[in-house]
Structure 1
Amino acid sequence: MSTEPEIVFVVGTRPEIIKTAPVLRAVRDSDALDVHVVHTDQHYDDNMSAAFFEVLNLGMPDEHLGVGSGTQGEQTAKGLMKIERLLGDRSPAAVLAQGDTNAVLSTALSASKLPVDFGHIESGIRSYDRSMPEETNRVLADHVAELNFAPTDVAVENLADEGIEDGVHATGNTVVDACLQHRSFAESESTILDDFGLTAGKFVAVTIHRPVNTDDPDRLTTILEAFDGQAFPVVFPCHPRTRTAIDDLGFEPTGSLRLVEPLDYIDFLNLQANARLVVTDSGGIQEEASILQVPCLTVRPNTERPETVDAGVNKLIPPAALNAEIRKLFGDSEAHEAMRGAPDLYGEGNSGARIADILERRYGA
């Protein structure tokens, strides 16, 4: 049995696995710390989550909690009960979670009521839109954390504005590590372009899943019609919730839109890296697009990644303007080039090692 202090990692969704992977690898390389990985199963579809552990060569989680789907309150409550019990049984030195999901909130609240430190990876980002459940999750998580690992100087300033200064570390964003660690592997191993008959730079990659878009039938219809009315392929790997919303609309693509099943991380990374542009409502995709130097259109009224907008590589766009903006970026080389070239907004790719070093110095045997 290991005698090193234990760090528990809690993940529940695909993006969390991707962004936690660089930290997990770095901590596992430490001789001073032990690791225990817990999957809440918030994304219970294997294609959306569990298979990523194998694809990213992380090994399987040590424990599954089986939280599954449900309302915001149900997911948070189930996670809170199960994570609290787990932390009480194991008594780790610290528990870490990444991002802004219900799994993060459950982990933060559980640790705050126990003698266990909580470390929040990707802390301090703000959309200032409390209609988004993610905003509530990230704010509460930051305020109970002993360690806040902030991805940017803006995130550090956001925390300071809320009175959070102790335990704040500017580490860069682990999404950079993930992109750099996996991009060459994706290029060599993924066959997604051949599988879909795509030519690099001649298609649009899409992700849409947030309730602001999927729960508004008129908004979603406008988005889908914009995708389906182009003169080039628009490839849309569908989140299960989005697929259900599209089916409920009775929408059937007849033009350029290709609705496909969710892709594993390596295939989507390769798809995104070779796209002419990306259209999304995901926070992580906004970051990845800047790193990969692919122009990004974000179909939301706001973003918690304002540095991408300030750098000119990401644009907030309403559904009604989406059709024209896609056509412009596809046909206007000058406009397209102006939205590339900011790969270093989130660091140089050593965030995982920085976080691991902080943990080793604080808790190492």
Structure 2
Amino acid sequence: MKVLTVIGARPQFIKAAVVSRAFVEHRPDVHEILVHTGQHYDANMSDVFFDELGIPLPDHNLGIGGGTHGQNTGRMLEKLEALMQAERPDWVLVYGDTDSTLAGALASAKLHIPVAHVEAGLRSFNRYMPEEINRVLTDHVAALLFAPSEVARTNLCNEGIANDRIRLVGDVMYDAALFYNERARKPAWFDSLSLRSNEFVLCTIHRAENTDQEARMQGIFDGLGESGLPIILPLHPRTSKKLTQMNVNLPANVTAVDPVGYLEMVWLEANCKIIATDSGGVQKEAYFHKKPCITLRDETEWVELIEGGYNALAGANSKEISNLIRSANFPRFESNIYGSGDAGRNIVEWMCR
């Protein structure tokens, strides 16, 4: 069997590493072709991940990135279609909710190649988010939908998707957290900050809904500053560019650092006190590491974390952000929402039936 896997953004590299490892360990007869669209084209945001995750470099790199959503998706569609026609895979495997995800799903569906979608069923119910459009459209053309949680499966059923296309497999990011925790690496610069474990806030900001609106950016950084706690901010290239354009200054308690590799990010997540983020993946990783999470968005696709009290929505409200950081009081992390750490194997077994 031949599987063509489409990835393009950092979180997808992590998820793909889990499933690729499961193919090698449990179905070595499967030929996987790894295609990197180039959506994350900065070396610090892409190349280093393949080295750290121990997965081979992609078989194909399409070199598409830096354009608008429409430009990126259109260019990816064109190149992916030609590649799929040449490779003739039995399955196309896509992850998450990026432009790469949608392009891979549409190209394969139009060529009548079955699509498998990892992280199916996530919904923020905000159609202004490009990620929401990507995930909804991908789910509705996929032949197999791998849901990470009961909430995700319920969302798919509520949209009329046939139950025989849905598989509740657990979350591949939990597999990754278990596998890479022991391999975590402290950043070389950390000791120079004179900070100790469990006394700093780890913050990530990258979503367009925040970075494209000066009022939201100002509100977020005002809230971070008012919290008074030391904050480490691995600075996404988009966020860095927008801060300069908007003339938004970093508060004195916020230390911006270059983007970190995955193993360094795991260490920071495991050793921080609180996580503040607009990333979907980092919200879950906070839960895996048993850290309170403050989400810098008005809604989240991981509603089960909100309902369980593990996560709190702060939006871009400066007072809400500072209050939550100063007084975070979250319940004990005793539940097991996202499976048993065997999602990768479950996905491989279902695809190979």
Sort the TM-score into its range (normalised by shorter chain): over 0.9
What is the distance in 1 between the residues matched to 2:187 and 2:201? 18
Note if contact 1:294-1:339 (Cα within 8 Å) is conserved in structure 2: no
Deviation at 1:316, TM superposition (A): 0.5
Secondary structure of 1:205's counterpart equals: strand
Q: 2:184 aligns with which of 172, 186, 189?
A: 186
Residue 175 of structure 2: aligned partner: 177
Q: 1:346 aligns with which of 314, 338, 341?
A: 338
Q: Deviations over 1:271-306 (max 9, x none)?
A: 011111000111111111111100000011111000
Residue 285 of structure 1: aligned partner: 282
Q: Deviations over 1:13-48 (max 9, x none)?
A: 001111221111111231331111010010000111
Deviation at 1:327, TM superposition (A): 1.4
What is the distance in 2 between the residues matched to 1:152 and 1:257? 35
Deviation at 1:59, TM superposition (A): 1.5
> Amino acid of the residue matched to residue 173 of structure 1?
D
> Amino acid of the residue matched to residue 246 of structure 1?
L
Note if contact 1:55-1:266 (Cα within 8 Å) is conserved in structure 2: yes
Q: TM-score, normalised by structure 2?
A: 0.95
Deviation at 1:233, TM superposition (A): 1.4
Residue 307 of structure 1: aligned partner: 304
Note if contact 1:150-1:168 (Cα within 8 Å) is conserved in structure 2: yes
What is the distance in 2 between the residues matched to 1:229 and 1:267? 27
Residue 6 of structure 2: aligned partner: 10
Deviation at 1:343, TM superposition (A): 5.9
Identical positions, percent: 38
- Alignment of 1:101 with 2:98, yes or no, is yes
What is the distance in 2 between the residues matched to 1:204 and 1:299? 13
> Amino acid of the residue matched to residue 171 of structure 2?
N
Deviation at 1:195, TM superposition (A): 5.1
Secondary structure of 2:339's counterpart equals: coil
Give the 3 Å change call, closer, same or farther, for CA 113–253 of structure 1 in structure 2.
closer
Residue 332 of structure 1: aligned partner: none
- Alignment of 1:149 with 2:141, yes or no, is no
Deviation at 1:222, TM superposition (A): 1.7
Secondary structure of 2:276's counterpart equals: strand
Map 1:186-225; keep pairs closer than 5 Å. 186=184, 191=188, 193-194=190-191, 196-225=193-222
> Amino acid of the residue matched to residue 50 of structure 2?
F
Note if contact 1:11-1:97 (Cα within 8 Å) is conserved in structure 2: yes
Map 1:99-138; keep pairs closer than 5 Å. 99-138=96-135
Secondary structure of 1:166's counterpart equals: helix
Aligned length: 349
Unmatched 5+ residue regions in structure 2? none
What is the distance in 2 between the residues matched to 1:87 and 1:342? 44
Residue 55 of structure 1: aligned partner: 52
Secondary structure of 1:229's counterpart equals: helix
Deviation at 1:224, TM superposition (A): 1.0
Give the stretch that moved more between structures: 316-325 or 174-183: 316-325
> Amino acid of the residue matched to residue 204 of structure 2?
T
Deviation at 1:205, TM superposition (A): 0.2
Residue 356 of structure 1: aligned partner: 348
Deviation at 1:342, TM superposition (A): 4.5
What is the distance in 2 between the residues matched to 1:76 and 1:314? 32
What is the distance in 2 between the residues matched to 1:177 and 1:202? 27
- Alignment of 1:297 with 2:294, yes or no, is yes
What is the distance in 1 between the residues matched to 2:4 and 2:255? 40
Give the stretch that moved more between structures: 203-212 or 340-349: 340-349
